[in-house]
Chain A
Amino acid sequence: MELFKFRRDIPFMRHALALNAVSIVTFLLAVFFLFSRGLHLSVEFTGGTVMEVGYSQPADVPKVRSVIAGLGYTDIQVQNFGTAQDVIIRLPSQKGVSSAQQSETAFAALKAADPGATLRRQEFVGPQVGQELVTDGLKALAMVVVGIMIYLAVRFEWKFAVAAIVANLHDVIIILGFFAFFQWEFSLAVLAAVLAVLGYSVNESVVIFDRIRENFRRYRKMDTIEIINNAITSTISRTIITHGSTQIMVLSMLLFGGPTLFYFALALTIGICFGIYSSVFVGAAIAMWLGIRREDMVKPGAQKGLDPNDPNAGATV
């Protein structure tokens, strides 16, 4: 079985400008939503209390809300979580009230309203922890970006490093944009997913760049655009299959992982889809516009003709 049959190289770069315009628009929209709506940060970042309460029958969410509101909380959220029987309740942290009192009084009130309630999970995070998580998250992002850029610059060339990072940061912003637009909960697990995606979709750019470098060595007559088109065409099958198989795993988490893993898997899904798009169209196009040349890849003075893998070894043009 072979899914992808290309008789000749697909001219990916012909539409680079239009596709990148689409990219820029999506990117700007994501930035816009990030600023206008903001991320719906989980309690881990904001501080506060989360309780997951299970009922024997489908839970009466408005009633739960009114019971909690009766305790004097103003900014509370009550939602179903996973199944109809489970609700998740978020309480903001209050000055002067300890976490213990907060969750205990709330649960006691719920228990009084419905004796069938069981406390499945309870979480309290102090405000100082949340602030730290935000800074640590940003530090981790910075380290990933700088680390990958240095590695790519050493292994390939600075133009590739810049192109790959721009392409993949664009994915990250778009994932965040989705989370801002739909107001999905942004938790620590989602942050982990975002960073994992950053590392993973750089792979894609690496595979394509690797092929571009090889093509520069191999096909001396082709110009840069042809070389990029050929590189993408010959790797596209692999790109789609690997992302497909990673996506199978992620899908499996999306279906079987339950509510805890849902947003984690969702972030990965968006990341994987945009990862393909950005490595193929954005990354390669930026590298092209940055002006990669044969001379960047095939170092003058290197024994280029003697590459044992080069089918044209010894050939002169």
Chain B
Amino acid sequence: MNRYPLWKYVIIAIAMLVGALYTLPNFFGEAPAVQVSSGKATIKVDTGTQRRVEEALKAAGIAPAAIVFDGNSIKVRLSTGDEQLKAKDAIQKALVPDPSDPPYVVALNLLSRSPSWLSAIGAAPMYLGLDLRGGVHFMLQVDMDAALTRKVESLSGDLRTALREKSVRHSGISRNGQSIEVIFRDRATLEAAKAIVADQFADLQTVDAPEGDEFKLTARIKATAARTIQEQALKQNMVTLHNRINELGVAEPVIQQQGQDRIVVQLPGVQDTAKAKDILGRTATLEVRLVDESPEGQAAEAGTGPVPFGSERFLERNSRPVIVKKQVMLTGENLTDAQPGFDNQTQEAAVHLNLDAKGSRIFRDVTRENIGKRMAILLFEKGKGEVVTAPVIRSEIGGGRVQISGRMTTTEANDTALLLRAGSLAAPMEIIEERTIGPSLGAENIAKGFNSVTWGFLVIAAFMCVYYMMFGVFSSIALGINLLLLVAVLSMLQATLTLPGMAAMALALGMAIDSNVLINERVREELRNGASPQAAINTGYERAWGTIFDSNVTTLIAGVALLIFGSGPVRGFAVVHCIGILTSMFSAVFFSRGLVNLWYGRVKKLKVVSIGTVWRPEGGSEVARSGQGG
């Protein structure tokens, strides 16, 4: 009765093999590395970049241990920390000629030392949380009301323009909180206005009510539209944050949405919070200016003359100089959206801009007066401007919908739109949580967590072996397998390991042994009641299973509650806790039974099992059942 069919052993063997494989990368430790990633949305890291990195390293006489290109970044693994610094300098010199305007981010990083065949099967070490590796954590709250108010503001301007264009007379448009109120003299004009709103403003819903002898139309943003606006605002803020963080030279920044209106930013390894905060909070500005097309300006653009008075020289993305007048026509404040798309007639790639009412009025005037001339859109960041695009004005553009097209690929259109949008934050943000952990504290925390788990494990294993003899050995092995599987699953999920997570690991082991104690006590009890050893093992396991299942379910309920409602450190704890319960059910029951079956199951006439002393009250004497079974 204590035999497992072959397939059960196969499952155990596979679980152990997979567990060992995925746990393995955690033991190789990390090697110093240099990571090269894109510093700008318009620059892609590709195999060409990899060649340049290789050449730069060869020129500097550094032999890297490995160069990996993972689609987004190039990671160069080196053998010593000294070489890492040298390699960083060499790569920096080759790829970033102008440090004030870096096309690439060259950052120091740590890379797993695990061999490539492990990486090939997707086995990677657990990701260490900030409390274990040091760094900065920010939680930013996006002011969604401000985003909505801004949108309503721009919509009310648009509505004013639309009503004027259709010659619908009204006696005043005003914004009241997050609604737009328009007053009309009579019902006919109100109906006309309603039709316009229904036709042109898909995001608005209207309610009308008579007010005195006038009629008031109140327009609000639809709930679905409001949600879209908020989502876009959040996304745009994240893109902007990404761009800004790039220049900090952080190897693996984490920028995540949390909840409806929060963004979590984690910068491992960064210690200078002041600088990080400064960069996160900075606003980039967008400006629209005219290109100086006077003969002097053209001479300066060709590089044959000085930059004329009242103009400035900026570089386009392809490093071509553009001479731009100093007078600013429009700023990013008037830009409400920028999306990539296609020209309606030519099907060329294009970028569609939306301007608010004030912006479109200015834009119409400027374009009317400057047909055939060039206009430059500049992006200012860190006080340095760059020409995003400098198209020729073909005709007067009214209505606030601007299309930039011509000589552009789809990717370029995408990048330009992104740059234009990323120029500014869609909604103001506020830091509501901030954590800095020094690198030495991180290393100490790893050691503390590791020591807790190790010592706890060893003492429990020793106790089990003394108290339950051979069954204690089985239980200890099962506990070890539990730890192995737990680490393997966490590595597979690429979960972030934090100090509370390590505490949960220790606790999971402490609770997992519960199942084995239950089983062993049950087996002893059966023996005490006079069952034969084989029958005692069988009934012991079977009877204990119900109890183990019940108690694990209740523990799991608590774990899931923590997972749902917990945030930050508690969630890290809860993930490990829940997975630990699940793996313990496998190892403590299924796996340990396998061991017992393997050891005792095939013995035909089993007389004694080694489970420590089984004390019998009836006889008054103790029957020793210790010693090797068989």
A-to-B contact residues, CB < 8 Å: 1-3, 5-8, 52, 54, 98-100, 103-104, 118-126, 128-129, 132-133, 136-137, 139-141, 143-144, 147-148, 151-152, 155, 188-189, 191-192, 195-196, 198-200, 202-203, 206-207, 210, 214, 234-235, 237-238, 241-242, 244-253, 255-258, 260-261, 264-265, 268, 309
Chain A residues near B562 (CB-CB < 8 A):
140, 192, 195-196
Contact status A5-B503, CB under 8 Å? no
Q: Closest CB-CB distance, B273 to chain A, in whole Å? A: 7
Q: Is the CB of B506 within 8 A of A252?
A: yes
Instruction: Note all chain B residues with C-beta closer than 8 A to A144.
Output: 557-558, 561
Q: A188-B566, A192-B569 are in contact. List 14 more A-B contacts (CB 8 A).
A: A99-B431, A121-B441, A126-B432, A133-B567, A137-B565, A147-B560, A195-B561, A200-B555, A202-B555, A245-B460, A246-B513, A248-B463, A253-B456, A257-B448
* Contacts from B to A (Cβ < 8 Å): 131, 139, 141, 273-274, 277, 430-438, 440-441, 444-445, 448-449, 451-453, 455-457, 459-460, 463-464, 466-467, 499-500, 503, 506-507, 509-511, 513-514, 517-518, 521, 524-525, 539, 542-543, 546-547, 550-551, 553-562, 564-570, 573-574, 577, 612-615, 617, 622
Given A1-B613, A136-B566, A137-B565: A261 touches B452 (CB 8 Å cut-off): yes
In the assembled complex, the Cα of A242 lies from the Cα of B520 at a distance in Å of 11
Hey, which chain A residues are within 8 Å of B467, CB to CB? 1, 3, 241
Nearest B-chain residue to A118, judged by Cβ: B438
Q: Check B558–A196 contact: CB distance below 8 A.
A: yes
Bound-state CA distance A251–B457 (Å) is 11
A69-B500 Cα distance, complex, nearest whole Å: 33
Total inter-chain residue pairs, C-beta < 8 Å: 239
With beta carbons under 8 angstroms apart, the residue of A141, A238, A246, A257 that contacts B511 is A246
Query: Chain B residues with Cβ under 8 A from A8's Cβ?
Result: 617
A241/B521 in contact, CB under 8 A: yes
A114 to B136, CA, bound (A): 24
- Asked if A148 and B434 make an inter-chain contact with CB atoms under 8 angstroms apart, the answer reads no
Q: Are A253 and B503 in contact (CB under 8 A)?
A: yes
Pick from B455, B561, B612: contact of A147, CB below 8 A. B561
Distance to closest chain A CB from B449 (angstroms): 7
* A206 pairs with B547, CB closer than 8 A: yes
Nearest residue, chain A, Cβ from B521: A238
Min CB–CB distance A110 → chain B (angstroms): 15
Whether A151 touches B455, Cβ cut-off 8 Å, given contacts A118-B438, A207-B518, A242-B514, is no
Closest 10 A-B residue pairs measured CB to CB? Answer: A199-B558, A249-B510, A126-B432, A252-B456, A203-B551, A246-B510, A249-B456, A140-B565, A256-B451, A147-B557
**8 Å CB contact of B570 from A5, A103, A147, A188:** A188
A120 to B435, CA, bound (A): 11
Q: Interface majority SS on A: helix, strand, loop or mixed?
A: helix
Report B-chain residues with C-beta under 8 Å of the C-beta of A120: 437-438, 440-441
How many Å lie between the Cα of A155 and that of B612 in the bound state?
A: 33
Q: Is A1 touching B546 in the complex (CB atoms < 8 A)?
A: no
Chain B residue nearest to A49 in the complex (CB): B434
Chain B CB count within 10 A is highest, among A6, A118, A192, A261, for A192
The answer to whether A1 touches B551 (Cβ under 8 A) is: no
| Neighbouring B residues of A200 by C-beta, 8 Å | 511, 555, 558
- Inter-chain CA distance A103–B305, complex, in Å, is 52
A245 touches B433 (CB 8 A): no
**Known contacts A199-B559, A249-B507; is-contact A125 B432 (Cβ 8 Å):** yes
Identify the closest chain B residue to A156 (Cβ). B550
Complex Cα gap A260–B569 (Å): 12
Q: List 17 A-B contacts (CB under 8 A).
A: A2-B622, A6-B617, A7-B617, A100-B274, A103-B273, A122-B436, A124-B435, A141-B561, A151-B554, A196-B562, A199-B559, A203-B511, A203-B551, A242-B518, A245-B513, A253-B506, A268-B507
Complex contact A256–B448 (CB within 8 A): yes
Across the interface, which residues of A come within 8 angstroms of B453, CB to CB? 252
Contact among B434, B448, B573 with A99 in the assembled complex (CB-CB below 8 Å): B434
